[in-house]
């Protein structure tokens, strides 16, 4: 049996079909936007609990922030420091005046994990770390010191009473 068209009925889709297509198009736009916005929101969320600082010297860094480690030589230069404001995670980088490990440090295997990221902290610093300065794991690469502190290690040291923080 052949169907005969009704007046006003087109060959295209009806109102419900147009609404469905519009809804799908809107959902696709929202999904595409989420692919761009969500990573940026995650970066913002992670970074909002971080404080970044740069100093000309170790003395200036220690004078400005009490959380900068006291073992950092006053004469260190080009100090970069990143700290979590919600825990004990830290990154530090500094040019050492003599290129030698600070006197308060000792040769030891690293403890803990690097949980922060900074463009100035090289990926191979963790593999090259061979000393501990307080609760920091450190590597000296050339005349540059790179160190990190893990909040989990800080908490364990506090519980054990092995830190003066």
> Is the pLDDT at 120 greater than 90, yes or no?
yes
Residue with tokens 């992670």: 46
Phi, psi (degrees; rounded to nearest 5) at 144? -105, 130
Q: 6-25: per-residue pLDDT in tens?
A: 555 555 667 776 766 666 66
Integer angstrom CA distances of residue 121 from 48, 82, 146, 148: 19, 10, 7, 9
Whole-angstrom Cα distance, residue 119 to residue 155?
27
Query: How far is it, in rounded angstroms, from Cα 65 to Cα 2?
Result: 85
Give the model's pLDDT for residue 56. Answer: 98
The arithmetic mean of pLDDT across residues 30-50, rounded, is 58
Q: pTM (2 decimals)?
A: 0.71
């Amino acid at each position: 049996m052949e169907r005969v068209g009704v007046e006003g009925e087109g060959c295209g889709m009806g109102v419900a079909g147009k609404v469905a297509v519009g809804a799908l198009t809107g959902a696709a736009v929202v999904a595409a936007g989420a692919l761009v916005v969500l990573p940026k929101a995650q970066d913002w969320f992670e970074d909002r609990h971080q404080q970044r600082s740069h100093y000309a010297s170790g003395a200036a860094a220690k004078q400005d922030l009490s959380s900068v480690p006291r073992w950092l030589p006053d004469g260190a230069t080009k100090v970069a420091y990143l700290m979590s404001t919600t825990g004990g995670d830290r990154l530090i980088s500094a040019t050492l005046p003599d290129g030698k490990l600070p006197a308060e440090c000792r040769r030891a295997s690293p403890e803990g994990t690097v949980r922060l990221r900074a463009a100035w902290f090289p990926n191979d610093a963790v593999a090259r770390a061979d000393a501990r300065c307080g609760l920091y794991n450190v590597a000296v690469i050339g005349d540059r010191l790179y160190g990190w502190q893990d909040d989990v290690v800080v908490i364990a040291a506090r519980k054990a009473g092995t830190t003066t923080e």
